[in-house]
Amino acid sequence: MTFTPEELEFLGTQHLARLATVSPDGQVQNNPVGFFLGAEPGTVEVGGHDLAKSKKFKNVASGSTVALVVDELASTRPWVVRGVEIRGTAEAVPDAEPPMPGFSRQLIRITPHKIISWGLGVPPSNRPV
């Protein structure tokens, strides 16, 4: 299994993440994105409006590896932070069923190679997949 049950539960409650990509000339880009658990087991999909025109989509199409961070500040008193970081490869999918109304037909499909999680009610995890 790629994700633990705790990671799946957390990811299923979240809607916003930050996706880091690298351009062919080595510039790092980090943007907030909408994400969804993928149709293919163990993957995560990023969607958006006019995604094919975005720098992140072009970076992925050029072969960028990615890091996706999904986190939340669950409480400030006491300070409680929880989240999941997914590092891996990504595919720029040019024509897919939009994950929600208003999104374009393009998406970024992420296949994890490393998953780091914390604050999910179990010991933190840092593991290759």
Total of domains in the chain = 1
CA torsion, points 1, 120, 115, 49, in degrees to nearest 10?
A: 100
What are the percentages of helix, strand and coil residues in the chain, rounded to 5? 15, 50, 35
Q: For residue 124, what is the domain's CATH number?
A: 2.30.110.10
CA distance 79 to 65: 32
In the DSSP assignment, the letter for residue 23 is -
Q: Is the pLDDT of residue 122 over 70?
A: yes
CA distance 21 to 68: 9
Q: How confident is the model at residue 100 (pLDDT cuts 50, 70, 90)?
A: confident
Percent of the chain with pLDDT over 90: 91
Taking all residues of the chain, what is their mean pLDDT, rounded to a whole number? 95
Q: Is the pLDDT of residue 31 over 70?
A: yes
- At residue 31, what are phi and psi to the nearest 5 degrees? -135, 150
Boundaries of domain holding 49: 5-128
pLDDT at 1: 62
36-77 pLDDT per residue, tens: 998 888 999 999 999 999 999 999 999 999 999 999 999 999
Give yes or no for a contact between 15 and 72, defined as CB atoms under 8 angstroms apart: no
Q: How confident is the model at residue 3 (pLDDT cuts 50, 70, 90)?
A: very high
In the DSSP assignment, the letter for residue 41 is T
